[in-house]
Amino acid sequence: MKKGKGQAGLRREYGREDLGKASRGKCHEACNNSHKLVLVEREVAKAFPDANAVNEALKPLIKVASAATGYK
């Protein structure tokens, strides 16, 4: 007995040629540039409950530092 198509016209298996041309890691650089991971010391991490608290604490510091140095 021959196996038919699955539900909604999907096959049970697909070959590589059925998937079209793929490119490996085409979004890798964009993903790396959009997220930065910064490791802080244990004592610093204890002072903040979460990432949002760290961000809120650093924003005023960045504003003061950029005003003092002219860096934007």
CB of 65 closer than 8 Å to CB of 71? yes
Q: What is residue 4's predicted lDDT score, i.e. its pLDDT? A: 56
- The answer as to whether 7 is a domain residue is no
**40-43, Cβ contacts within 8 angstroms, sequence gap of 24 or more:** none
Give the DSSP letter of residue 12: S
Q: What is residue 3's predicted lDDT score, i.e. its pLDDT? A: 60
Predicted TM-score (pTM) of this structure: 0.49
Query: What 3-state class would DSSP assign to 34?
Result: helix
Each of the 72 residues of the chain gets a pLDDT tens digit; together they read 566 555 677 888 888 888 778 788 888 888 777 778 889 999 999 999 999 999 999 999 999 999 988 876
The DSSP H or E segment spanning 56 is helix 51-69
- The answer as to whether 56 is a domain residue is yes
Number of domains in the chain: 1
**Domain around 51:** 38-72
